[in-house]
C-alpha cells in the first residue's frame, strides 16, 4: 500500500485528492500518440507502393509483405504487455521499445536514400531483394515491428492508469480517455497520410527517404514528450509474478487434479484470507463457468498449498475471465482482415484512378484522410454529446457498453467491403473501356469513410473492454488483445490472398488466380471484396451469440443479461460504502472491522 500511495494511487479512499494523473498526465501521451502515428499510419497506407515501385515486389508480394509486417507489429504488442505487467512499469517499457522504433525508422531512411542498399529491377520475380540488401531490409522491418508492437502493448494502459475507476468522476474520465486517445491518433494520422505521403511519393517516388526522415524525427519528438511528462504520471509498479506463469499454473494444476471430484460447496475451494494476503487487489468471487478449472483450487489431503500444487479461487477466476474474452477477440479478426485490404489493394486501386482535385494531384495513399476527417469531427460529438445524453438512460459511464460499440463496427465493416466491391467494378469497367479517363480517386472515399467510422467504434470499444475487464496485474497483457486481433486479421489477409489465388487459379478457365500479377484490370479484386463482405456478415451473427453470452466482470449489469459477482476487500468496504446497499452498510462495516475476511457482493445481496 505504501508503494501505491507513493506512486499516486489510493486503493482505500477513491474520494481522496490525487496530485497526479488525470488528463494533465494523459496530454503527454496524446502528444506521443499523435506524433508517432503520423509516421506509422503513413507507412501503413504507403509502404505497399514503396515495396512495389522502389523494391520491385509484385502485387501479391507487396500486399503480403505489408500485412505480415502489420500482423507482426500488433502480435508483438503482447511482448510489451507481458513485460510491463511483470518486469518494468509501463513508462519504462514504452521508452525501451520506443528506442527500437526510432532506430528502425533511421535504418529505413538510410536504405531509401542509399542506392547501394536498394535492389535492381529483376523482371518476372516476386521479389528482387537478395544478399545483404535483403538482410538490412528485413532487419529494419523486424526492429520496427518489435518497437511499435512493444509500445502499443504498454502505452494505452499507461494512460488508463491515470484514472481511478473506483472514483465516479474519474470513471467518466477513463471512458473519455479512450475516445481522446483515438482522436489524437487520428489527428496525427491525418497529417501523416497527407503531408508525409505527399513528400514520400512526390517526384516519381524519389523522396521516400525524406518521408521516412520526417517520420523518425516526429517519433523521436513524441518520445521526448512522453519522458517530459513523467512527473505527472501515476506509475503502477509491475506485480513481479508473471501473468503467463499464473495462467500456466491454473491449467497445469487443473489437469493434475482432473480426476478429483468437485467439492460439494465452492467454499471448500482454496482462497487466501484477505488479512493474510500480501496482495492489495480484491479477491474475485467464484463463478460457475468453466468448472473444470475449479479443480486447480482443490487442495489435496496432506498437501500444503503451493503455486504448482494448488491455486486460489482468485487465480482460477483470472483465467476464466481471460477465457471468456477469447470468443470476443476471435469475433473481431475478420474486421481487421477487411481493414488490411484498405491499406493494400485499395491503395493500389487508387494508383490507377484519376488523382487530380482541380490542379492538385492527390497521392493515392492519401485518400484515407477522408475517413480520418470524419473521425476527427465525430469523436468530440460522440464523447461530448452522445455519451452524456445516452448515459442518462443507461447509467453506464461509457454511454453504451463496449461490446455494443464493437457490434456497430462489425456491421459497418460488412457494408464497407460491399461498397468496395461495387466501386472496384465501376473502376475496372471504366479502365477497360477508356483507359485514358479513369474514374476519380474520390470514389474510394465511400469504402474508406464507412470503415473509418467502424474502426472508431470497434478499436475504442475493444481497448476499453479489455482494460476494464482484465484481472489486476494483467491490464497490459489483456489490453494487447485488441492489437492481437489486428495482428491475426493481417495474417489472415495474407492467408486469404495466397489461398484464393491458389484455388481460383485451378478452377478459372484462364488458369490465373483472382489476384495474380500487377495489373488490377486483369484481376478479380471485386470478387475478393464480395468474399470478405459475406464472411463479415456471417461473422457478425457469430459475434452476436458470444456478446450475449458474455457477462461483464464489473457487476453493474452492463450487458443487460445479469450481474456478475464481485469481491470487495474489507479495507475497500470501509472507505467506500457505495459498493453496498444502504440498509446493509452498517452491518457489513461491523463484520469487516471484526476481522471477518473479505465480503462478496452478489446480485445486491451480502455473503460472507
Q: Following CA atoms 119, 125, 126, 128 in sequence, which dihedral angle do they give, to the nearest 10 degrees?
A: -10
For 547-590, how does the pLDDT look when each residue is reduced to its tens digit (9 = 90+)? 988 877 644 334 333 333 343 333 333 233 333 333 343 344 33
Greatest C-alpha distance within the chain:
86
Name 600's bridge partners.
567, 607
For 93-107, how does the pLDDT look when each residue is reduced to its tens digit (9 = 90+)? 999 999 999 999 999
Residue 379 pLDDT greater than 90, yes or no: no
Confidence tier at 115 by pLDDT (50, 70, 90): confident
185 within 8 A of 60, measured Cβ to Cβ: no
In terms of DSSP bridges, do strands 360-361 and 566-568 run parallel, antiparallel, or are they unpaired?
Answer: unpaired
Alpha-helix residue ranges (DSSP H) falling in 289-401: 313-331, 333-342, 345-350, 369-381, 387-394
In terms of DSSP bridges, do strands 566-568 and 356-357 run parallel, antiparallel, or are they unpaired?
Answer: unpaired
Q: Identify the residue with better confidence: 148 or 208.
A: 148
State pTM to two decimals: 0.74
- Which pLDDT score is estimated for 410? 94
**Pairwise CA distance, residues 29 & 33, whole Å:** 6
Range with top average pLDDT, 14-18, 252-256, 565-569:
252-256
- Which pLDDT score is estimated for 12? 35
Residue 531 pLDDT greater than 50, yes or no: yes
Residue 468 pLDDT greater than 50, yes or no: yes
Task: Average the pLDDT over 125-142 and give the result.
Answer: 84
Confidence tier at 523 by pLDDT (50, 70, 90): confident
Task: Average the pLDDT over 354-379 and give the result.
Answer: 79
In three-state secondary structure terms, 450 is: helix
- Which pLDDT score is estimated for 204? 58
- Region at 279 (left for phi over 0; alpha for psi -120 to 50; beta for the rest): beta
Task: Average the pLDDT over 377-393 and give the result.
Answer: 86
- From the list 550, 50, 66, 57, the residue with the least C-alpha distance to 344 is 66
- From the list 212, 92, 56, 53, the residue with the least C-alpha distance to 141 is 212
Please give the span between the terminal C-alpha atoms of the chain, in angstroms, as a whole number: 24
Task: Average the pLDDT over 36-47 and give the result.
Answer: 84
- From the list 566, 581, 578, the residue with the least C-alpha distance to 469 is 566
Place of cell 482468485: 314
**Pairwise CA distance, residues 515 & 497, whole Å:** 7
State the chain's mean pLDDT as an integer. 79
Q: Identify the residue with better confidence: 81 or 6.
A: 81
Which range (57-61, 238-242, 349-353, 468-472) has the least confidence?
238-242
Task: Average the pLDDT over 247-258 and give the result.
Answer: 88
Contacts of 218 (CB under 8 A, 6+ apart): 35, 36, 38, 39
**Pairwise CA distance, residues 175 & 177, whole Å:** 6
Report the CATH fold assignment for 18-238+332-549. Growth Hormone; Chain: A; (1.20.1250)
Residue 592 pLDDT greater than 60, yes or no: no
For 302-313, how does the pLDDT look when each residue is reduced to its tens digit (9 = 90+)? 777 777 888 888
How are strands ordered across the β-sheet holding 566-568? Answer: 566-568, 599-602, 605-607
Name 566's bridge partners.
601
Confidence tier at 502 by pLDDT (50, 70, 90): confident
**Pairwise CA distance, residues 284 & 316, whole Å:** 9
Residue 68 pLDDT greater than 70, yes or no: yes
Confidence tier at 124 by pLDDT (50, 70, 90): low
Task: Average the pLDDT over 203-219 and give the result.
Answer: 83
The dihedral through the CA atoms of 492, 494, 500, 503 has a sign that is: negative
Contacts of 425 (CB under 8 A, 6+ apart): 526
Domain boundaries, the chain: 18-238+332-549, 565-608
- Which pLDDT score is estimated for 220? 96
- Which pLDDT score is estimated for 333? 92
For 76-91, how does the pLDDT look when each residue is reduced to its tens digit (9 = 90+)? 998 988 888 888 889 9
**Pairwise CA distance, residues 108 & 145, whole Å:** 13
**Pairwise CA distance, residues 595 & 608, whole Å:** 11
Cβ of 77: how many Cβ atoms within 10 Å? 30
Place of cell 495462467: 247
Which DSSP category does 230 fall into? G
In three-state secondary structure terms, 123 is: coil
- From the list 192, 239, 189, the residue with the least C-alpha distance to 473 is 239
For 407-429, how does the pLDDT look when each residue is reduced to its tens digit (9 = 90+)? 999 999 999 999 999 999 999 88
Query: Could you give the C-alpha distances from 387 to 249, 324, 380, 405, 467, in angstroms and in order?
Result: 41, 27, 10, 12, 19
Name 354's bridge partners.
440
- Which pLDDT score is estimated for 541? 94
Q: Identify the residue with better confidence: 435 or 226.
A: 226
Q: How many helices (H) and strands (E) does the chain have?
A: 21, 5
Q: Identify the residue with better confidence: 387 or 519.
A: 387
Name 575's bridge partners.
none
Task: Average the pLDDT over 465-474 and give the result.
Answer: 84
* All cell numbers assigned to 356: 487530380
The dihedral through the CA atoms of 168, 173, 175, 176 has a sign that is: positive
171 within 8 A of 165, measured Cβ to Cβ: yes
**Pairwise CA distance, residues 455 & 87, whole Å:** 32
- Which pLDDT score is estimated for 206? 64
**Pairwise CA distance, residues 64 & 344, whole Å:** 9
Name 560's bridge partners.
none
* All cell numbers assigned to 401: 457498453
Confidence tier at 240 by pLDDT (50, 70, 90): low
Amino acid at each position: 500500500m505504501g508503494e501505491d500511495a507513493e506512486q499516486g494511487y489510493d486503493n482505500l479512499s477513491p474520494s481522496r485528492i490525487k496530485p497526479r494523473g488525470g488528463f494533465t498526465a494523459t496530454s503527454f501521451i496524446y502528444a506521443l500518440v499523435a506524433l508517432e502515428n503520423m509516421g506509422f499510419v503513413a507507412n501503413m497506407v504507403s509502404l505497399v507502393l514503396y515495396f512495389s515501385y522502389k523494391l520491385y515486389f509484385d502485387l501479391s508480394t507487396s500486399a503480403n509483405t505489408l500485412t505480415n509486417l502489420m500482423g507482426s507489429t500488433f502480435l508483438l504488442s503482447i511482448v510489451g504487455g507481458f513485460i510491463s505487467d511483470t518486469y518494468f512499469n509501463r513508462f519504462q517499457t514504452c521508452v525501451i521499445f520506443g528506442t527500437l522504433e526510432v532506430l528502425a525508422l533511421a535504418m529505413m531512411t538510410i536504405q531509401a536514400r542509399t542506392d547501394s542498399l536498394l535492389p535492381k529491377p529483376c523482371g518476372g520475380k516476386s521479389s528482387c531483394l537478395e544478399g545483404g540488401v535483403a538482410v538490412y531490409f528485413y532487419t529494419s522491418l523486424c526492429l520496427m515491428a518489435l518497437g511499435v508492437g512493444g509500445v502499443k502493448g504498454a502505452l494505452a494502459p499507461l494512460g488508463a492508469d491515470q484514472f481511478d475507476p473506483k472514483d465516479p468522476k474519474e470513471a467518466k474520465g477513463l471512458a473519455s480517455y479512450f475516445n481522446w486517445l483515438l482522436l489524437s491518433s487520428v489527428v496525427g494520422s491525418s497529417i501523416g497520410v497527407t503531408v508525409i505521403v505527399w513528400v514520400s511519393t512526390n517526384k516519381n517516388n524519389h523522396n521516400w527517404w525524406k518521408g521516412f526522415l520526417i517520420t523518425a524525427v516526429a517519433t523521436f519528438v513524441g518520445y521526448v514528450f512522453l519522458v517530459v511528462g513523467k512527473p505527472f504520471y501515476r506509475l503502477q509498479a509491475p506485480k513481479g509474478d508473471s501473468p503467463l506463469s499464473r495462467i500456466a499454473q491454473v491449467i497445469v494444476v487443473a489437469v493434475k487434479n482432473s480426476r478429483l471430484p468437485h467439492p460439494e460447496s465452492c467454499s471448500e475451494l482454496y482462497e487466501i484470507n484477505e488479512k493474510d494476503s500480501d496482495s492489495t487487489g480484491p479477491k474475485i468471487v467464484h463463478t460457475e463457468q468453466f468448472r473444470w478449472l475449479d479443480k486447480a483450487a482443490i487442495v489435496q489431503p496432506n498437501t500444503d498449498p503451493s503455486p504448482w500444487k494448488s491455486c486460489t479461487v482468485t487465480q482460477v477466476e483470472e483465467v476464466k475471465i481471460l477465457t471468456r474474452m477469447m470468443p470476443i477477440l476471435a469475433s473481431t479478426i475478420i474486421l481487421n482482415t477487411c481493414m488490411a485490404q484498405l491499406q493494400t489493394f485499395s491503395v493500389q486501386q487508387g494508383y490507377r484512378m484519376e488523382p487530380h482535385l482541380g490542379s492538385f494531384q492527390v497521392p493515392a495513399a492519401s485518400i484515407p484522410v477522408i475517413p480520418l476527417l470524419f473521425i476527427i469531427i465525430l469523436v468530440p460529438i460522440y464523447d461530448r454529446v452522445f455519451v452524456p445524453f445516452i448515459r442518462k438512460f443507461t447509467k453506464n459511464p461509457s454511454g453504451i457498453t463496449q461490446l455494443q460499440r464493437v457490434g456497430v463496427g462489425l456491421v459497418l465493416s460488412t457494408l464497407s467491403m460491399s461498397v468496395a466491391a461495387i466501386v472496384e467494378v465501376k473502376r475496372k469497367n471504366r479502365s477497360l473501356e477508356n483507359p485514358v479517363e479513369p474514374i476519380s480517386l474520390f470514389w474510394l472515399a465511400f469504402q474508406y469513410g464507412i470503415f473509418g467510422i467502424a474502426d472508431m467504434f470497434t478499436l475504442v470499444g475493444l481497448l476499453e473492454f479489455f482494460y476494464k475487464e482484465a484481472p489486476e496485474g494483467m491490464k497490459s497483457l489483456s489490453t494487447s488483445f485488441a492489437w492481437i486481433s489486428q495482428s491475426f486479421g493481417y495474417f489472415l489477409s495474407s492467408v486469404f490472398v495466397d489461398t484464393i489465388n491458389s484455388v481460383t487459379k485451378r478452377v478459372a478457365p484462364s488458369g490465373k488466380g483472382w489476384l495474380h500479377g500487377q495489373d488490377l484490370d486483369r484481376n478479380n479484386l471485386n470478387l475478393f471484396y464480395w468474399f470478405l463482405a459475406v464472411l463479415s456478415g456471417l461473422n457478425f451473427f457469430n459475434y452476436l451469440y458470444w456478446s450475449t453470452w458474455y457477462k461483464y466482470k464489473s457487476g453493474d449489469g452492463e450487458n443487460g443479461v445479469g450481474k456478475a459477482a464481485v469481491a470487495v476487500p474489507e479495507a475497500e468496504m470501509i472507505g467506500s460504502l457505495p459498493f453496498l446497499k444502504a440498509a446493509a452498510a452498517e452491518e457489513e462495516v461491523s463484520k469487516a472491522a471484526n476481522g471477518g475476511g473479505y465480503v462478496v457482493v452478489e446480485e445486491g445481496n451480502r455473503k460472507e
